[in-house]
A and B are shown apart, each in its own frame.
Chain A
Amino acid sequence: MSKIRPFVLAFVLTAIASASASAETLRCRSVNNNTTCSGSGAVSCQTVNGRTVCVGGNGAAIQSFRGGAPTPEELQEFDQPGREDLDDAPPPAKRRHSINRWDANGPVLSIEQSDGRLRLHTRRTAIAIDR
């Protein structure tokens, strides 16, 4: 038993000494629902339906923000008319999908599908296909 104790003590001391002392910092600013964070290490922020959660480094620092409701412009754009507001025939369908990608040098790729038209833009190519 007396032989084990120094070994255990040495192990514990080594473990404590090898554990890195870290002081994670995470500084966040939220102005008009636009949240930006910076920290001493890696920083990841995610906003889901107006609620933002920012995590610094290994998760030691976390900040969350609750944004406001969608802007009136957004809601107005997306107001759905009631039945009494509609004519007998439904308005033409306007389905739209778009993907835009950027890298450090600017736009890389743009794909847009809207009203039967498919448009593809890259740095070298521009294609438009009408159905």
Chain B
Amino acid sequence: MSLRSFVLPALALFAALPASAQETGGMALRGPAAMLERLEQLQPGCRLSQTSVTVGVNRASGAHAQARQDLLTTAPGGCRPLVSTQVVAGANLGLGPGSNAEQSIQAYGPRGVLATNAYTRGYNLAAGPRSTAQQRLFNQIGR
């Protein structure tokens, strides 16, 4: 196995791990009582915020090459954070003539008590003659 074929998935794994970021901002307290009621829904021991980023890069560059990659990220069940952010991004490239690149990225995360942010972005390209590129992105937020 070449070093490059190991490094790319390893980078994708690290990208799939939860990212922590400095958070700023605020909320307009239109109904303080309702807001407090929602805040009380936060379970003891649960995180205030939860961020999940799942990124996959898959490419089939040789002639008649086949490259397939599946990525899955699931968040802890039962705990609803105050704010939940979930990002799914994928790049899938069929570059070689007659090549086939296939990538599937699935992420499951909880709905935030106060806010939920879900971002799904994908770049899918079959550039080689008679090449195919198929990409499935699934960014699912719990009910």
Question: Which residues of A are at the interface with B, using a C-beta cutoff of 8 A?
Answer: 38, 41-50, 55, 70, 74-75, 78-81, 83, 86, 88-104, 108-109, 111, 113, 122-124
Minimum Cβ distance to chain B for residue A66 (Å): 14
B25 at the interface (CB under 8 A from A): no
A90 and B79: CB pair below 8 A? yes
CA–CA, A89 and B123, complex, Å? 42
Q: Quick one: closest A residue to B75, CB to CB?
A: A95
Q: Judging by beta carbons under 8 Å apart, are B13 and A113 in contact?
A: yes
6 A-B contacts (beta carbon < 8 Å)? A44-B133, A47-B138, A80-B142, A94-B76, A95-B74, A101-B58
Is the Cβ of A42 less than 8 Å from the Cβ of B65?
Answer: no
Instruction: List B contacts of A86 (CB < 8 A).
Output: 43, 78
Total A-B residue contacts, Cβ distance less than 8 Å: 149
What is the CA–CA distance of A111 and B72 in the complex, to the nearest angstrom?
11
Which residue of chain A has the shortest Cβ distance to B124 in the bound complex?
A46
Measured CB to CB, the closest approach of chain A to B20, in angstroms, equals: 14
| Residue B132 at the chain A interface, CB threshold 8 Å | yes
Knowing A80-B110, A90-B45, A99-B70 touch, does A74 contact B140 (C-beta < 8 A)? yes
Question: Which residues on the A side are within 8 Å of B76 (C-beta)?
Answer: 92-95
Residues of B within 8 A of A111 (CB): 9-10, 13
Q: Is the CB of B13 within 8 A of A97?
A: yes
Q: Smallest CB-CB separation from B137: which chain A residue?
A: A48
Residues of chain A with a CB closer than 8 A to B45's CB: 89-90
Interface pair A80/B77, CB less than 8 Å apart: yes
B69 CB contacts on chain A under 8 angstroms: 99-102
Could you tell me if B5 and A80 are in contact, using CB atoms closer than 8 angstroms?
A: no
A83 neighbours in B (Cβ, 8 Å): 41, 43
**Contact of A103 with B66 in the complex, beta carbons under 8 Å:** yes
Q: B65, B108, B122: which contacts A103 (Cβ < 8 A)?
A: B65
User: Are B139 and A49 within 8 A (Cβ)?
Assistant: yes
Query: How distant is the Cα of A55 from the Cα of B127 in the complex, in angstroms?
Result: 11
Given A42-B128, A78-B140, A79-B143, 8 further pairs, Cβ under 8 A: A42-B129, A43-B131, A45-B124, A74-B140, A91-B79, A92-B76, A111-B10, A113-B13
- Contact residues in A for B117 (Cβ distance below 8 Å): none
Q: Is the CB of B9 within 8 A of A97?
A: no
A58 to B33 alpha-carbon distance, docked (Å): 56
Find out whether the CB atom of A49 lies under 8 angstroms from the CB atom of B138.
Answer: yes
Can you list the 5 inter-chain pairs with the closest CB atoms, starting with the nearest? A93-B76, A42-B126, A44-B126, A46-B124, A91-B78
Task: For the complex, give the distance between the alpha carbons of A46 and B126 in Å.
Answer: 11
